[in-house]
Amino acid sequence: MRRLIGRPSTVRARIVALALAPVLALLVLWSFAMVSVTGELRALVRVQGVYEEFGTPVDTAIGQIQIERRLSAAYLGTNRRTPPVAGLLEQQRRTDRAVDAMRDAIRSGDRGRLSGRQRQALDAMVTTVGRLEGVREQVLSRDISWDRAVSEYSALVEPGFDVESTLTALQAGQLAREAQVVVELVRVREFVSREDALVAGARAAGTLTDRQYDTLTSAVEDRRVFERTYVPDLPGDSRALFEEFQRGQLHRKLVSSEDALLRAGAAGAGDAVAADSWRSTTDRAVKQYMRLCTRSAMNSAGRGREFAYRELARAAAVGVVGLAAVGLSLWFAVRGARRISRRLETLRDTADLLTTRQLPDVMARLSAGEDVDAVTEAPPLADGEAGADEIGDVGRSFNAARLAAVEAAVQQANLRRGLSAVLLNIARRNQSLVHRQLKLVDTLERRTDDPDVLEQLFRIDHLTTRMRRHAENLIVLSGSAPGRRWRRPVPVADVVTSAVGEIEAYARVEVPPMPPVGVAADAVADVVHLIAELVENATVFSPPDTRVTMRTARAEGGFALQIDDRGLGFDAGQLEEADRTIRNPGGFDPTRHDRLGLYVVGRLAARHGIEVTFGPSPYGGTTAVVTLPEGVLAEEGGGAKGTEDVSARASLP
């Protein structure tokens, strides 16, 4: 089974991993606390920089829009078809510069420091101020009333408060509440500026409608309600700043002017306060409110940083103690794991020596037929039984398993040798009977002249020859050599003809003229057998109406015989398997070798150094090339006759 990804691969690593589980849990909790604290610290430190980069341009643009709102209300309140005053046009240019600066800051600033909500609020502000030109066109063409113009300009300013809220928002808790209170107090400046614009319009128009007067009184009441509601919620230092302002002359003058407006009613609101006094009071009040809100925001940010630094120091102290405990735990775990690992490595090295050197040597000797004593040849592991713990138990169990495995291998080797001996004995008996049968058939052939009887005898002779080859297959599979022997070399033409005569479909084989070369006496039987197996394979695996052809050539260092069939052929995998079987016949395993002929060919070829290769045939089937080395070749002898047992037929039946 494939090892799971990330799973420890050694015992030492697993022991350390067990110790790491609680350690990692502690580290995760500590890291979470540190990330939380440092994240809040980074957010608090970032507030001021973000506000200076994005909030200040927005605040400047809002201030210019508020001034333009007042001048536009005054221009529209005259209700006369006069050109716009120079002051309004100049203010519009100043507003444009402030709005362009705001757009540039929002577009080219480091937006990566912003949250998604902050970017959304800034984009909404840019989109809203895009309506400024449309409002101006209505103002300059007098297509809008002065109070409606005030409402339109106020709508342009409104998204700025959402920007203020998002840019100064902190993480959570009391600090977040402080930031929200400061943002709400920023609206007080807007209410004062709105009052100023409404009064300017009323003064220019000379009177107010009831609806316009209600708008003015709403602005006054909103300012007072917001101030009464949110100033008490400020922290002590920021609240003290507002209370000091409320006790001052400027605030009292602002309140008294607002009271005069409220007492005058709609008809007299335009003249309720002196123009110069009102303008001076509102301008100074707007600036003072802005300074107070800025100071309050900076106070909150400072408290946030102090809180974060304090919590960070506390977390660091706890972390140092925790890390020390973690380090000590890991030290003990690693030390214990190292001791256990050393014992296991010693056990592993000893077992590896046994399995890679000693046991393979024992198995090789068993395969060679030597007698092996399991206990002597595979001694117990040196450290296998050391210790009374689980590792010692593993060593003792391994020793028992090793002894059982070696004993089983010895028993299997003895069993295989016994079976091979039985098969060899049976094959030898069959071979002897076949030889006797061939002699009898040969005698009958010489004694009769009847053509019909001779034909039947030739068929019996042919079948008997094939039976002899199959019996010799068993002898080869048993690791022995057939009993047929020649006393002198045999021409290669007779060898090939004799091999073709040992197959069933001999009539389909085309044997070409052979060169004048012979095969050494001690190799004749095996070469005949080898060629017969290959030719029979070619006839069996090709259509019965096709021919099997042969070609000969004098190869470098020997003689080459090429056998071509017109069958389906081998695919790449089958060719590779066939070549591998020929090159490495090894020990025969009936569970892996279903083509016994290839194994027999491989054993015979290995015995004499004969090279056999397979490849695609030019006729669409398979080509087998047999290369006989110089050691197998000899000068031509007296033909295929003269075996010690039974004559190898030199002619086809």
Can you tell me the distance from the alpha carbon of 277 to that of 273, in angstroms, rounded to the nearest whole number? Answer: 7
> Does 91 or 23 have the greater pLDDT score?
91
* Average pLDDT of the segment spanning 230-254: 86
Q: What pLDDT does residue 604 have?
A: 82
**Domains located in the chain, CATH noted:** 49-301 (no CATH), 488-653 (3.30.565.10)
Residue labelled with tokens 């005259």: 78
In 3D space, the residue among 516, 550, 525 whose CA is nearest the CA of residue 623 turns out to be: 550
Q: How do residues 441-493 score in pLDDT, each as one tens digit?
A: 678 777 777 777 777 776 776 676 666 776 666 666 666 666 667 888 999 88
* Average pLDDT of the segment spanning 241-256: 87
- Non-local (6+) Cβ contacts of 642 within 8 A are 486, 487, 488
Whether residue 568 is predicted with pLDDT greater than 50 in this model: the reply is yes
How much of the chain, in percent, has pLDDT values that exceed 90? 3
* Average pLDDT of the segment spanning 279-289: 84
Can you tell me the distance from the alpha carbon of 414 to that of 410, in angstroms, rounded to the nearest whole number? Answer: 6
Can you tell me the distance from the alpha carbon of 386 to that of 388, in angstroms, rounded to the nearest whole number? Answer: 7
* Average pLDDT of the segment spanning 252-278: 81
Q: What H or E segment, with its residue span, contains residue 445?
A: helix 390-447
Q: CA angle, corner 156, sides to 151 and 157, nearest 5? A: 95
Q: What pLDDT does residue 431 have?
A: 60
Asked which of 300-304, 317-321, 606-610, 647-651 is least confident by mean pLDDT, the reply is 647-651
Structure tokens at 560: 């080459």
Handedness of CA 466, 471, 474, 475 (dihedral sign): negative
Residue labelled with tokens 């912003």: 114
> Does 419 or 534 have the greater pLDDT score?
534
Q: Where are the alpha helices (DSSP H) in 141-235?
A: 146-157, 159-167, 173-205, 210-230
Residue 384, SS3 per DSSP: coil
Q: How do residues 178-191 score in pLDDT, each as one tens digit?
A: 777 777 777 888 88
Pairing of strands 490-491, 518-519: antiparallel
> How far is residue 229 from each of residues 139, 170, 634, measured CA to CA in Å?
36, 21, 123
Q: What H or E segment, with its residue span, contains residue 26?
A: helix 11-50
**Quick count: other Cβ atoms within 10 Å of Cβ 558?**
18
In 3D space, the residue among 235, 250, 78 whose CA is nearest the CA of residue 149 turns out to be: 78
Q: What pLDDT does residue 646 have?
A: 37
Whether residue 172 is predicted with pLDDT greater than 70 in this model: the reply is no
Structure tokens at 555: 């190869």
The answer to whether the CB of 501 falls within 8 A of the CB of 543 is no
Q: How confident is the model at residue 96 (pLDDT cuts 50, 70, 90)?
A: very high
Compute CA 501 distance to the chain's CA centroid, rounded to the nearest angstrom.
63
The answer to whether the CB of 566 falls within 8 A of the CB of 542 is yes
In 3D space, the residue among 477, 377, 370 whose CA is nearest the CA of residue 427 turns out to be: 477
| 3-class secondary structure per residue, 282-300 | HHHHHHHHHHHHHHHHHHH
Whether residue 93 is predicted with pLDDT greater than 90 in this model: the reply is yes
Whether residue 72 is predicted with pLDDT greater than 80 in this model: the reply is yes
Residue 550, SS3 per DSSP: strand
- Non-local (6+) Cβ contacts of 127 within 8 A are none
Residue labelled with tokens 């608090």: 44
Can you tell me the distance from the alpha carbon of 610 to that of 605, in angstroms, rounded to the nearest whole number? Answer: 5
Q: What pLDDT does residue 95 have?
A: 92
Whole-number average pLDDT of the chain: 77
Structure tokens at 588: 């025969």
Residue labelled with tokens 């300012």: 223
Q: What pLDDT does residue 116 have?
A: 83
Can you tell me the distance from the alpha carbon of 399 to that of 417, in angstroms, rounded to the nearest whole number? Answer: 27
Whether residue 384 is predicted with pLDDT greater than 60 in this model: the reply is no
Whether residue 494 is predicted with pLDDT greater than 80 in this model: the reply is yes
Whether residue 363 is predicted with pLDDT greater than 80 in this model: the reply is no
Highest mean pLDDT (candidates 54-68, 122-136, 194-208):
122-136
Residue 509, SS3 per DSSP: strand
Q: What pLDDT does residue 641 have?
A: 43
Pairing of strands 548-555, 509-510: parallel
Q: What pLDDT does residue 642 have?
A: 40
Q: What pLDDT does residue 645 have?
A: 40
Q: What pLDDT does residue 97 have?
A: 94
Whether residue 2 is predicted with pLDDT greater than 50 in this model: the reply is no
| 3-class secondary structure per residue, 576-612 | HHHHHHHHCCCCCCCCCCCCHHHHHHHHHHHHHCCEE
Can you tell me the distance from the alpha carbon of 55 to that of 160, in angstroms, rounded to the nearest whole number? Answer: 9
Sheet containing 633-634: order of strands: 490-491, 518-519, 633-634
Can you tell me the distance from the alpha carbon of 626 to that of 633, in angstroms, rounded to the nearest whole number? Answer: 13
Q: How do residues 550-563 score in pLDDT, each as one tens digit?
A: 998 877 778 889 99
Whether residue 153 is predicted with pLDDT greater than 80 in this model: the reply is yes
Q: How confident is the model at residue 36 (pLDDT cuts 50, 70, 90)?
A: low
DSSP per residue, 349-384:
HHHHHIIIIIHHHHHHHHHTT----HHHHSPPPTTT
> Does 434 or 457 have the greater pLDDT score?
457
Structure tokens at 525: 């039987």
In 3D space, the residue among 521, 441, 525 whose CA is nearest the CA of residue 475 turns out to be: 525
- Non-local (6+) Cβ contacts of 401 within 8 A are none
* Average pLDDT of the segment spanning 238-256: 87
> Does 49 or 635 have the greater pLDDT score?
635
